[in-house]
Structure formats: structure tokens, C-alpha cells
Structure 1
């Protein structure tokens, strides 16, 4: 069966799911899911001696769903630690609903083979774990959801979390937890906050127990069942870098300069505009060019959104950005800022990008700058699978912000390692072409034909303009056309669009 953008969805998957029909084809009027509530009386404590005690007290059983957040990124110790204890307790057939999975989660392979984990839903998959899943490790396909789509699924009850295990840089004994004020600080706990609100049981895991009350708190005591102190929750070096540095790569700098010209010439660059930029080399460098242009034109932004970096913090402290809305901090400057700057706001993933609440903040975005592994001539974007078909990325907030922003810019080089980045059809669609307005490359830009207004505007801007087909043809004259990836029929991952419909699947590589 084919969805509205022509992606083949196997009938056995399509029969139980809605197929993608368009960015805003689905409205939702449903009751929110609700967690189990158990009262805690005066004098009753929440602090337990170890993880095993917390797991037993939560009543975790075979077949249940557990969740984790990914704010500790490659420095995360929590997930592997918890799963190891669960395995020793003999609990099996669990669904793992982590907000994302990284290279550091390679030990999960053993627990999948041993039957401890039988299903996974996540935003991202990387490293050896992703490679093994791409080769058919799991019987059931992984479900890939965007950050907004995951929040929607939790609130709608599509993901029913039995126990959430949430790491916190600091916590008091009653469960007021923060991503700051500890030795392994990560800043915003935006992805964990939504789990704490909807899970039946919530366990806070910290290596820094502080006096009550730990305020302000990212996760409140009213949503927490148990608190566990462990020796270490993570490696600070893998959680946040000292600084997210600008690229010195001339190609990336040129793409960033072109992207800045697109923003300035778009008509959306005016006092009070809002924006989100990524954390990759070229997308991060856009902030530098944008800062200079804002100073030159005496323009200030109302807010910046998303994963926050040093560059955004500096612009905020210079008075160029009024508000920061932070769902995830990427470096120490972002982590520290959230504690000291009152207009730096910590938000949860539903407020960030859930398409089925009463108005996520992504709806108010003027400009978003995003990256791509590949983009096709219909402007569909892949950020999930590599040129070899292996899972190696994350849906993240890509399709969420692309759909919502008035101007969506994709930055991509023409070639990576002699592999074309512009193709006839991407391996995996994460963001549909209808959400993309402009592609920026190192030789110029391509404008989505549906944006006739931008085509007229940029005809007067000093920037090379091509059709996306012309860009593709230029690449192929240089590197040729790669051989097609060979897949088996088995589906290893189902890609949900942010509204829960199926936009694509990932098949097992041969």
C-alpha cells in the first residue's frame, strides 16, 4: 500500500495503522491518557536503598513498558545500569520507550537477544545497536517517532509507560529533580518531564542527593514515586562539551553564509522574529552570521527554540534574543544559563512540538534551519538512515519544526564521501517535501516550486539559484549514480509522522 507521498507500506503494517496523508491532515480530539495515582501520606519516604528495591516496589512485570530520557547522551550510565538490574530480576519481554538511543547503549544488544527487551520505540538509533537492528536483530520493528510525535503518543496513550526511570543531576529525598546543581549536569530535562507526568510509576535516579527542597525543580515531587542514589549517573564529558565550536570548514561556512542570506532576504527577518538552528557544523555557524546581521540591522529576536548552544546563550545575554525556550542543552554554556538567566525557560517536549495539543511553541516559529543526510527531488528529507541503508540518526524535532515554521531551510552539501546527497528518492522519509522551503548547498540554493513568493524574492538576492533537479544533475556528472541498496522484505523500523500516521518504513539490509 502507498501513502500520499508514494512510500510503500507493507499491508500487514498498514492494516493496523493510519497512513500519512499530509502535514495537517489529521486533527485530534481525544481525552488525555492518565497515570495511576497512589497517595503518599505524611511521614512516608520515597528514598530507597538501590535500583533493585525501586524496581520491585514499582511492581515491574513481564510485558510492561519502561522509559528513559536521553539528556545524558553519550555520557549516559542510567539506561544500561537499570536494564542490567531488571535482567537479573528475571523480568522479560519489556517495551523500551526511550526518547532516544545512542552509541553508548550497545549493551542493549545482549538484553534484546536474551529476551529482556522485545520492543523499542525511540527517536534515534546510532552505533552498533542500530547496525544490528538494521540487520534484523529484533522480531518486532522499532517505532521511530519525532520528539513532538513521542509527546503526542504518550499523551494519547499510544505509549503507555508503566515505569519511567529518569536520571537527574540532583534531587532531594522527596523527588524534586533537576538537570543542574550536581556533578553530571545536563540542563533542561525537557524529554523526561513528559514521562514524569504520564508514567504510572516514576523513579528518579541521581548521584547528587541534596537537601529538601531542591528548587527550582524540573520534575516535581508530586509526580515521583521513588528516589535512588547511585554512585554515578553519567560521564560529564559525554553529556555536554565545554563549548560547541563553530566550524572552520570553508564549505560549511559558505553554506551558512548562503543560509543567512536566505533568512535575511525571506521577508521573515524583522524585529521580533523567532528561529531555531541546529547543532551541526553548518547549521550552528548560521547563528554567527545571523548575529552579525541582527546587530547591523538593529533587529532583535523574540525567541530562540530547541536544543540550545553557547551561541544562542551569548546572543541572549547580548540582548539580541529576548527568550530562550530550551528542551535540551548541548553544551556547558546552555546548561549553566538555564540556572542564571530568568528568560531562559525549560520546556517539555509537548510544549515544544506536540501537534495535537492546544498549540505547541513550534507553531510560532518563523525560521528553522535543519540538516539532512539526503534530500530528494521532491524535497523529502532523510535524517535517519545512511547511504548504506543502516539506521544511524534521529528523527528528533526535524519534521515537527519543519512543518510548523514559516520558513524551513535545509542545509546539505552536494556530496559526502563521494556519495550524492541529492537523489531521486531518499532511503527514508522523515520530513515530507511539503514542509521544506529552501535547500542550501555550497554552490547555491534550490527553492521548493510551491513557494512562488520566495522564488520572486530571491530573484533579487545575490545568491546562485538552481532547480533541485539541476543540482542533482551536477552531482551525478561528478560522482555518477550509486548502486541501489539491496533490502530484504523484513521491516526493521516503522517511521511515524508526528501525527502518528505511517510516513515510511525501514527494511532489513542484505
Structure 2
């Protein structure tokens, strides 16, 4: 069963996903179980993933390499949910938090895609005081964040918050006053880890608060924009992030569904082709995020807007060239031809669940 971040939190809270034991790593804890991931030699930042597990598991075990006198503060996971505390020599190597994936793309094509995302948001009148968005950690998403920062700073625009997956690029926005707050469910690099420990405006949030649709309100509902990747997009704006065009299951969902459903404008950033494989298809191999929550597709060969978003089409009319998504599809096919479709067995290897608990799609075993 594949679920989004918010969908998993919902499943845990309502009992669809029962947890017998939750093992929760903490970079500092006291003997009663109060803990966080912000302080200590192994600090890793936000513990957003752990909240739902800690609150609802039958047994909760906090594992730490930094046991300190009671009470440890700030408290992420409180003592009232913790059954056991185990001290170990090391919970991990914080140097591994920052990996090669946390680098801005050097591809001129993808940098141009990122610039066009910012250009579209600006021309549509979305980037203004109070602007909020969800940041990502892929190469193109990092570039969008950097270009957004530059645009906002140049034009004296102050945003309300950035939700993430937080990197140093977002921390830079907080430090120079381009945004007022960071809401952090997962700290993606060491600069973000340092910031959440020291900056008052950098706040930890759970994945329940981030994207659980069965709460009184989640953070994604307050986001003006998000920019997300995809392995495939189809003519109905459905998005695949789980499988590639060969049908093989390679990725989870992350917060994709949640951000797309909640944000005012959801933008998918993709190249028209990957090698000789078209990314825009008649139908995606797997539906990970439904097309009615996707608004704009930005490629290296043009920008398509979901026809249901007449407001966006009108907002950029005469300011940016947009094309029908079918034109992008035809352009891809004219360059590389129709892609070879994978063949599947009847055996189901994974179920794609939507964030509200409904069945969205299944992944079947690829025939050898």
C-alpha cells in the first residue's frame, strides 16, 4: 500500500494502519521520553514523520545517543506517549543528511524550466506580499526556490511561510526577511538542521498538520503554490510519480498528493523527453496524483494550463505563451515516436491509495 505523507498520517490516526511498535530516533532525550531531533551531536532537525506513530502506536520506544537530565526541551515527542527510552552509542551520522540530491540542477534546460515557473507565478499575479509555497529538494525544485527568492527580494515582497522539506535555500529566505516563517516537517540539509535549533521563525510541524485531510485543517490548504516533479503526465493532467514508463515500481508518493490537493496552484515541472522517452503520454502508466488537482505543466518546450483553470489562463493572457497539452504530446511523439507500452501480469504488486483513503490505482507486475 502506497500512501502520501498526509494519507499515511490519516491512515494511522483512523486505524486503517495499525502500528504495534514505533522505534523513534532522537538526538536528545530525557529518561522519561521527552525528546527532539534539533539538539545534540546527531541532530537531524524536524521529527515530522514521527508524530503520528508516537501518538497511536501500541508501544513507543525512543532511541537516543544523548540522554540528558529531565526535562529535555523543546519537546517534540512528549513523555505521555513514550513507553521506553533506550540509549545507544550513535543513532546515525548527520553528515549523511546532505546528499548529492540536494544540489541545484546544472542543466540549462531544467534551469530554464525553473525560471519559467517563477515567471508564470509572477505574471499570474500570485507572487505578492503574504505569498506561501511548498519547497522541494530535487534539483529543479531547488532552482525554483532560488529564483523565487531572487524575485521576491528584488521586488520587496515578503512571504508568509514556506512549507517543506526544508533546505538551506529556504533558510536564506528567512534570514534576509523574504519570508516570515518556515514550517518544517523534514530537514533536508545541515543548514536547515542548524536553523530549526536556533531560529525562532523556523517551526517544526507534524505530517498530520502538514497534510492529513481528515483534520480541521492542514498546512497545504494555506499554500498559494507548489512545484512538483513527475515521471509521467497525461492528457488529462494525471501525474505518475511511482512508476516509470517501463512499468517498474521505483518511487513512493511523498507529499505529492497532499500539496497538489491543497495548494491554490499546483505546477508540475518536467522535460518533454527523458532520453528518447516522452514524459507526456495519452495515459500515465500509474495515476499517483489525479489531474483535477494539477493546474500547470511547465516543460522545456512549452507551458500547458489545465483548461478547468480558466482564471489562470485569463490571468496570463497576453503575458505568457501557453499551449494545449495535446500540442506538447504531439511534439514529443513527432520527435521520438509512440512509446512502447509495458506488458503486465494480473498480479498486483502495489496499491496506490489517495490521501482520503480511496483507491486511486494499482501497480501490476511487469511481464518478463
Pairwise same-fold verdict (TM > 0.5): yes
Q: Which residue does the alignment assign to 2:256?
A: 398
Q: Which residue does the alignment assign to 1:258?
A: 116
Aligned residues: 367
1: CA distance, partners of 2:18 / 2:101: 37
Whether the aligned pair in 2 keeps the contact of 1:151 and 1:349 (CA below 8 Å) is yes
Q: Given the alignment, which residue of 342, 359, 364 partners 1:502?
A: 359
Over residues 481-500 of structure 1, what are the superposed CA-to-partner deviations in whole Å (9 max), with x where a residue is unaligned?
12110110011111110000
TM-score by length of structure 1 reads: 0.70
User: Per the alignment, in what secondary structure is the counterpart of residue 181 of structure 2?
Assistant: strand
How big is the shift at 1:182?
A: 2.8
2: CA distance, partners of 1:383 / 1:206: 34
Q: Which residue does the alignment assign to 1:146?
A: 4
2: CA distance, partners of 1:195 / 1:384: 24
How big is the shift at 1:169?
A: 1.8
Distance change (3 Å), C-alpha of 1:376 and 1:267: same
1: CA distance, partners of 2:31 / 2:142: 39
Q: Which residue does the alignment assign to 2:343?
A: 486
User: Per the alignment, in what secondary structure is the counterpart of residue 152 of structure 1?
Assistant: helix
User: Per the alignment, in what secondary structure is the counterpart of residue 403 of structure 1?
Assistant: helix
Q: Which residue does the alignment assign to 1:444?
A: 302
User: Per the alignment, in what secondary structure is the counterpart of residue 144 of structure 1?
Assistant: coil
Structure 1 gaps of 5+ residues are 1-142
User: Per the alignment, in what secondary structure is the counterpart of residue 466 of structure 1?
Assistant: coil
Over residues 265-311 of structure 1, what are the superposed CA-to-partner deviations in whole Å (9 max), with x where a residue is unaligned?
22222111111122111111011111121122211100111211111
Over residues 169-191 of structure 1, what are the superposed CA-to-partner deviations in whole Å (9 max), with x where a residue is unaligned?
22222211211223332200001
Whether the aligned pair in 2 keeps the contact of 1:243 and 1:332 (CA below 8 Å) is no
Q: Which residue does the alignment assign to 1:71?
A: none
Q: Given the alignment, which residue of 83, 90, 97 partners 1:239?
A: 97
Over residues 96-121 of structure 1, what are the superposed CA-to-partner deviations in whole Å (9 max), with x where a residue is unaligned?
xxxxxxxxxxxxxxxxxxxxxxxxxx
User: Per the alignment, in what secondary structure is the counterpart of residue 148 of structure 1?
Assistant: helix
How big is the shift at 1:337?
A: 0.6
How big is the shift at 1:234?
A: 2.1
Over residues 427-450 of structure 1, what are the superposed CA-to-partner deviations in whole Å (9 max), with x where a residue is unaligned?
111110000110001122001011
User: Per the alignment, in what secondary structure is the counterpart of residue 256 of structure 1?
Assistant: helix
Q: Which residue does the alignment assign to 2:275?
A: 417
User: Per the alignment, in what secondary structure is the counterpart of residue 49 of structure 2?
Assistant: helix
2: CA distance, partners of 1:182 / 1:509: 46
Distance change (3 Å), C-alpha of 1:174 and 1:243: farther
Whether the aligned pair in 1 keeps the contact of 2:97 and 2:190 (CA below 8 Å) is no
Whether the aligned pair in 1 keeps the contact of 2:102 and 2:138 (CA below 8 Å) is no
TM-score by length of structure 2 reads: 0.96
How big is the shift at 1:243?
A: 9.8
Distance change (3 Å), C-alpha of 1:242 and 1:370: closer
Whether the aligned pair in 2 keeps the contact of 1:243 and 1:333 (CA below 8 Å) is no
Distance change (3 Å), C-alpha of 1:248 and 1:206: same
Q: Which residue does the alignment assign to 1:210?
A: 68
Q: Does 1:380 align with 2:238?
A: yes
Whether the aligned pair in 1 keeps the contact of 2:101 and 2:139 (CA below 8 Å) is no
Q: Which residue does the alignment assign to 2:54?
A: 196
User: Per the alignment, in what secondary structure is the counterpart of residue 164 of structure 1?
Assistant: strand
2: CA distance, partners of 1:477 / 1:279: 32
2: CA distance, partners of 1:232 / 1:424: 50
2: CA distance, partners of 1:290 / 1:181: 30
Whether the aligned pair in 1 keeps the contact of 2:210 and 2:220 (CA below 8 Å) is yes
Q: Which residue does the alignment assign to 1:9?
A: none
Larger radius of gyration: 1
**RMSD of aligned alpha carbons:** 1.4
Q: Given the alignment, which residue of 319, 328, 343 partners 2:186?
A: 328
Whether the aligned pair in 1 keeps the contact of 2:10 and 2:213 (CA below 8 Å) is yes
Whether the aligned pair in 2 keeps the contact of 1:175 and 1:204 (CA below 8 Å) is yes
1: CA distance, partners of 2:278 / 2:35: 46
Structure 2 gaps of 5+ residues are none
Whether the aligned pair in 2 keeps the contact of 1:494 and 1:505 (CA below 8 Å) is yes
2: CA distance, partners of 1:333 / 1:194: 26
Distance change (3 Å), C-alpha of 1:495 and 1:242: closer
How big is the shift at 1:416?
A: 1.1
How big is the shift at 1:370?
A: 0.7
